[in-house]
Chains A and B, each alone.
Chain A
């Protein structure tokens, strides 16, 4: 049987398929519901997952993430979807433990494709110490897959996107450019091998490298872009974040993809939403704007740490790099220099 190209079945892919943030706020802002006191992080915060106090010094952390495929290989898609979903638990400083799968699957596809997606997901979940214990499957024209993941943490060790303090160093643990490269990949222009490798890499190691160090705030960089997730952390923490564009690291080929117009639609909707929340130099090169506003899929952790802890972290985890610092609240929540 001829191999079906998964990406040919979908309009948008990966975290680029997220609803634009402006629309989401219109739909959800002000929606009231009774919340128990044990719910530490919930609907109203823009954090990566819910946090529920178990009352014994531990908290439960729960998150869900699923999206259409950005690669044709079903097994690799399963791995990426799992790594991406589990990442939200790491972004909260937790240890992921159990998960349920969400699968939308076209009836025209051979059922072995589903098996291969699940095989990839199970392998990645196992690497994270997670067991996929159930799930739900729908018939759908476009394939989509992801996980609802539950993790745990000590209550006093949970990370949140609020808590960043003036003077903190800002660290990113994966390179930027996945969204651009995967758009070029969908067009058949590049193999995007490094982007795919990075997406399937768990943030487990980035999280564990911070063991014993002071992390004031954390999040991960996904569909709302580096600027978007920085804005959320700055807004929640009541500070401004200065990003030094000279310190950013990009995946090879991403700049070229941007120059030739392989730019994900989410880059433009992110920019529209974030325009008045970020200050960028007037003469900023276009490709740099693309990197800053493009959706990332299964992106890195964004960590806010005191400078001395940040130095130690960068020694322990050399893939990570410093991107800037936190200042007192200024006119704009995010300032790029």
Chain B
């Protein structure tokens, strides 16, 4: 599964990055986000496309495992 790090970016950038990355890896993606807005928004984007999202909290950030 490919990794995408959106740390340091603010919305809507992480959603745009996720959209592009999912275009290349349609089966799934592991996305690192470092703020609540990005966590919520990337999760919504993936779910709106029918993916499931598993969230783990890390060191000041979250890892969103996006999969079919």
A residues at B contact (CB < 8 Å): 11-12, 183-184, 186-188, 258-265, 267-268
**In this assembly, does B1 line the interface, its C-beta being within 8 Å of a C-beta of chain A?**
no
Known: A260-B44, A261-B45. A187 touches B12 (CB 8 A): yes
For B2-27 the 0/1 string (1 means CB < 8 A from A) is: 00000000111001100100000000
Number of A-B residue pairs at CB separation under 8 A = 46
Please name 15 pairs of A and B residues whose Cβ atoms are closer than 8 Å in the assembled complex, sorted by A.
A12-B10, A183-B11, A186-B12, A187-B15, A187-B16, A260-B48, A261-B41, A262-B15, A263-B37, A263-B40, A264-B37, A265-B10, A265-B35, A268-B36, A268-B37
Across-interface contacts of B15 in A (CB, < 8 A): 187, 260-262
B17 to chain A, nearest CB (A): 10
Residues from chain A with Cβ under 8 Å of B48 in the complex: 259-261
B11 x A264 contact (CB < 8 A): yes
Taking the nearest CB of chain A, how far is it from the CB of B42, in angstroms? 6
Give the residue name and chain of the B residue nearest to A188 (CB): B16
Q: Count residues of B near A (Cβ-Cβ below 8 Å).
A: 16
A264 to B37, CA, bound (A): 8
Asked whether B32 is an interface residue with its Cβ less than 8 Å from the other chain, the reply is no
Alpha-carbon distance A263/B16, docked complex (angstroms): 12
Query: Are B40 and A261 neighbours in the complex by a CB distance under 8 Å?
Result: yes
Give A275 Cβ to nearest chain B Cβ, in Å: 13
Bound CA span A268–B12, Å: 13
User: In the complex, how many angstroms separate the beta carbon of B23 from the nearest chain A beta carbon?
Assistant: 14
List the 10 shortest-distance A-B pairs measured between CB atoms, nearest first: A261-B44, A261-B41, A261-B45, A187-B12, A265-B37, A260-B48, A268-B37, A261-B15, A187-B16, A183-B12
- Max chain A Cβ within 10 angstroms of own Cβ: one of B41, B42, B43, B48: B41
Nearest to A272 among chain B residues (CB) is B36
Contact partners of B42 in chain A: CB under 8 A: 261
Considering the complex, give the chain A residue whose CB is closest to the CB of B45: A261
Tell me whether A262 and B37 are in contact (CB under 8 A): no
Contact of B40 among A12, A186, A268 (CB under 8 A): A268
| A260-B48, A263-B37, A263-B41 known, 9 other contacts, Cβ within 8 Å | A183-B11, A184-B12, A260-B45, A261-B42, A261-B48, A262-B15, A263-B40, A263-B44, A265-B35
- Shortest Cβ distance from residue B62 to the other chain A in the assembled complex, whole angstroms: 14
Residues of A within 8 A of B11 (CB): 183, 262-265
Please, how many angstroms separate the alpha-carbon atoms of A258 and B40 in the complex?
11
CB nearest to A258 among chain B residues = B44
A177 to chain B, nearest CB (A): 15
Question: For residue B16, which residues in chain A have a CB less than 8 angstroms away from its CB?
Answer: 187-188
Residues of chain B within 8 A (CB-CB) of A11 are 10
Q: Determine the distance from Cα of A261 to Cα of B51 in the docked complex, in whole angstroms.
A: 14
Most buried by B among A261, A262, A267: A261
Shortest CB distance B11–A (Å): 5
With a cutoff of 8 Å between Cβ atoms, the chain B residues found around residue A268 in the complex are 36-37, 40
Question: Within the assembled complex, what's the spacing in Å between the Cα atoms of A306 and B7?
Answer: 50
B58 CB, nearest partner CB in chain A, Å: 19
CA distance A264 to B44 in the complex (A): 13
B44/A259 in contact, CB under 8 A: yes
Chain A residues lying within 8 Å of B37, measured Cβ to Cβ, are: 263-265, 267-268
**CB contact list, B35-61 vs A, under 8 A:** 35-37, 40-45, 48
A183 to B10, CA, bound (A): 11
CA distance A7 to B35 in the complex (A): 21
**Given the complex, which residues of B lie within 8 Å of A260, measured CB to CB?**
15, 44-45, 48
B24 nearest CB across to chain A (Å) = 18
Query: Shortest beta-carbon distance, B31 to chain A, in Å?
Result: 12
